[in-house]
């Protein structure tokens, strides 16, 4: 009777282990923020929730700003992945704007870490903290991206000429920011009809 061959365990690289620990720490931070607010996101609490030491959390992020910047980078990478799957680069400018809004709102409904981001942002703004800077930079990136899509739409004829692309980008960004904040006030909010109404309204407002 032959014994079954033993498959040696797959050894993960140091980079893989580092990425896993950072992902688990960020996930733990988001959970704490949603459950108990910004003040609960201490490195001691984050490490304990993720099953690591406080020292590892401190080593990974260094400061509260480092934690926020890491969370922003994680959420941005996730959004970029969703946008790439939608292939907005091949769509008209108008359809790309609508696709961005659609993906953002669908993700907002489902992703607790995105809501944790806005809890952090609200705390930073309320405290007039220097921690506002990473949020301002992230929102500026969205504004610039949307403005480029509106300009693309004017060039390809899908967005009406004469529209102020920068103002339109700010308006759409404000819509997304407002709905994100509303989710904090009313966590049970059903975004689906709001998403559909927003897309229909934006199409009529900006379409050529």
Per-residue pLDDT tens digits for 64-107: 888 888 888 888 888 888 888 888 889 999 999 999 999 999 98
Count CB neighbours of 9 within 10 A: 6
What is the rounded distance in angstroms from the CA atom of residue 34 to the CA atom of residue 112? 8
- Are residues 134 and 73 part of one domain? yes
Coil/strand/helix, residue 207: strand
- Are residues 146 and 53 part of one domain? no
Total domain count, the chain: 2
Enclosing domain of residue 32: 15-62
Q: Give the per-residue pLDDT at 12.
A: 65
What is the rounded distance in angstroms from the CA atom of residue 116 to the CA atom of residue 107? 13
What is the rounded distance in angstroms from the CA atom of residue 43 to the CA atom of residue 60? 10
pTM confidence score: 0.81
Pick from 9-13, 14-18, 50-54, 56-60: least confident: 9-13
What is the rounded distance in angstroms from the CA atom of residue 49 to the CA atom of residue 42? 11
The token duo for 140 is 């500026």
Cβ neighbors of 31 (< 8 A, separation 6 or more) are 49, 112, 116
What distance lies between CA 48 and its chain's CA centroid? Answer: 24
- Are residues 129 and 160 part of one domain? yes
- Are residues 172 and 106 part of one domain? yes
Q: Give the per-residue pLDDT at 78.
A: 83
**Within a domain: 23:** yes
- Are residues 192 and 141 part of one domain? yes
> What are the pLDDT digits (tens) for 8-17?
665 667 777 7
What distance lies between CA 207 and its chain's CA centroid? Answer: 27
- Are residues 127 and 161 part of one domain? yes
Mean pLDDT, rounded, for 136-151 = 93
């Amino acid at each position: 009777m032959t014994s079954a061959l033993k498959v040696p365990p797959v050894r993960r690289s140091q980079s893989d282990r580092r990425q896993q620990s950072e992902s688990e720490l960020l996930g733990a931070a988001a959970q704490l923020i949603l459950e108990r607010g910004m003040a609960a996101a201490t490195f001691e609490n984050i490490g304990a929730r993720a099953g690591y030491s406080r020292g590892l959390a401190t080593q990974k992020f260094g400061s509260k700003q480092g934690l926020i910047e890491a969370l922003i980078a994680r959420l941005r990478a996730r959004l970029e992945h969703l946008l790439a799957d939608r292939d907005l680069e091949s769509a008209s400018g108008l359809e790309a704007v609508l696709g961005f809004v659609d993906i953002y709102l669908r993700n907002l409904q489902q992703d607790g870490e995105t809501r944790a981001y806005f809890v952090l942002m609200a705390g930073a703004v309320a405290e007039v903290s220097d921690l506002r800077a990473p949020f301002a930079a992230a929102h500026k990136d969205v504004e610039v991206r949307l403005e480029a899509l509106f300009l693309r739409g004017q060039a390809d004829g899908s967005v009406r000429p004469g529209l102020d692309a920068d103002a339109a980008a700010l308006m759409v960004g404000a819509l997304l920011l407002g709905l994100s904040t509303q989710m904090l006030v009313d966590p049970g909010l059903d975004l689906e009809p709001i998403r559909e109404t927003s897309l229909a309204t934006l199409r009529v407002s900006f379409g050529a």
